[in-house]
Chain A
């Protein structure tokens, strides 16, 4: 994890104080990747909401997970839509190694060579004071899962 490295990708910032999702961004600000976890049955609940569809428990508990994942799919955006995201860029969809029902997005510049199933790691990026967990391909030594 390279939480100390920061770059700027643009001004589209998330709402960070939503009652259901704010802790995700609070954790990111601390350099952590957090997943909403049901206090009753321990199911991971992403997208974050209070009511667990599995056991009905209302809770607001979270757990911290290792910021590693596996590439689930991606697209290379060639047609410019938003001024903050100059094309080409790539949006990756990553499945978390320690929470396989959770998938998160990341933004990469250009058209990197990618393969579905390859290891990915979080790279925190600061955008106008908000720290976002983005994803990049794991370097060889980082992809050692033993």
Chain B
């Protein structure tokens, strides 16, 4: 980090409000309506009139533009907008961008949102069905014609390599992946908003689920979901006068590491390592800005498009040494354990809102309002996916 990068002021900005829609397989609404509903909920939570919003940060893959959302909210004048990504690498970076805009004086009330009909609308993975694949910097020509077409297939290749590098059988790795899936599922079972609220799962049921892309099974995959989440970012000083308890942004970081490769996801198979991700680059920046270490984290919301994604991040962020995340048990990862994670159920069992529901749940933990509340939680890590890049937040209590 350069000297300039140290100018981050921990806790200068806060998340003042959170909001979410219902999560479903068929919302029956446009992404714009979902975005408006989640944003209105977040603004109501903060006690802010929607017309007062002056900034919006969106995900680069969202179908809803900043002006479209501003229009529906009745905003008088949107004076700041921005976006981050790529895709699931975005949410923590989106919050960071909102915080930066507030700190720089470019805006005072910034909405950060993600809205998608991820099940009933454009489903991921249905790529390369039309015409020739690739070109224009996508590099898909080296992947789609060879049968690699989905994120699940990509992460399956990563998972097998991980097992090989750490000298463990694929079955042993799956035991560790199961622990993550089971932790998320048990948390979802306590969360009425989760899509898997009513569906329990045993380790045997995990292993009995059908193989989709060996070694990844159905329950290593996240849910495809319709829904939206939003948060409101403002200065901590102002947030203290608003309706809800402020949740200060203690740290925020983004990272790619070296040799990140062009393209979106598949080109990451060309990196020097496919089992260490950009999250390993973001981690020292994140903890350095906060003056904290992994041992200070009370609870974590770790991006989980697939179980293996979470497992590798647990090592990238330094919670366990390389090769050890596969040995974690469900008890260690659930409320009451040493590293409770994804306390809403995560992407695996609550909903796939592309990393944004992790931000909302992180705020709940600091407020003490999670349906899987970690007793005395004061420091929460929120991560947004590798591989295209990684971003992360540390949320804390206002002192």
Contacts and interface: CB of A to CB of B under 8 A. Distances in A.
B261 interface: yes
B214 A73 contact: no
24 contacts: A14-B141, A15-B132, A17-B135, A18-B136, A18-B141, A20-B137, A21-B135, A47-B142, A74-B160, A77-B147, A77-B213, A78-B211, A79-B211, A79-B212, A82-B129, A85-B149, A89-B147, A101-B272, A103-B270, A105-B142, A106-B146, A116-B161, A127-B145, A134-B146
Interface in A71-113: 72-79, 81-83, 85, 89, 91, 93, 101-107, 111
Given A75-B214, A89-B147, A105-B148, A15 B262 contact: no
Contacts of A134: 146
A103 B269 contact: yes
B103 to A, nearest CB: 32
Nearest to B137: A20
A116 B164 contact: yes
Contact of A107 (B147, B212, B213, B261): B147
A16 interface: yes
Given A14-B145, A78-B212, A78-B213, A47 B160 contact: no
Interface in B55-111: none
A132 interface: yes
A81 B259 CA distance: 30
B259 A21 contact: no
Contacts of B133: 12-15
Interface residues of A, number: 44
Interface stretch (B1-9, B24-32, B151-159, B338-346): B151-159
B319 interface: no
B267 A47 contact: yes
Given A76-B214, A103-B269, A116-B160, A81 B150 contact: yes
B150 to A, nearest CB: 6
Interface residues of B, number: 46
B153 A75 contact: yes
Contacts of A75: 153, 156-157, 160, 213-216
B134 A81 contact: no
Nearest to B267: A47
B345 to A, nearest CB: 23
A89 B142 CA distance: 17
Contact of A72 (B161, B211, B263): B161
A93 B157 contact: yes
A46 interface: yes
A113 to B, nearest CB: 13
B144 interface: yes
B213 A47 contact: no
Q: Which residue among B137, B145, B149, B213 has the maximum number of chain A CB atoms within 10 Å of its CB?
A: B145
Interface in A102-146: 102-107, 111, 116, 127, 130, 132, 134
A41 B366 CA distance: 52
A60 interface: no
Given A14-B132, A75-B153, A75-B157, A47 B261 contact: yes
B135 A15 contact: yes
B295 interface: no
Interface string B211-247: 1111110000000000000000000000000000000
Which 6 residue pairs across A and B have the least CB separation, nearest first? Answer: A14-B141, A15-B135, A75-B156, A105-B146, A73-B161, A76-B214
Given A13-B132, A93-B157, A53 B213 contact: no
Interface string A25-57: 100000000000000000000110100010000
B64 to A, nearest CB: 27
A81 B144 CA distance: 11
B134 A14 contact: yes
Contact of B262 (A49, A74, A106, A130): A49
Q: Which of B146, B153, B274 has the most A CB atoms < 10 Å from its CB? A: B146
Given A49-B262, A77-B147, 11 more contacts: A15-B132, A15-B134, A18-B141, A21-B134, A77-B212, A77-B214, A79-B152, A81-B150, A82-B149, A93-B161, A105-B148
Contacts of B267: 47
B143 interface: yes
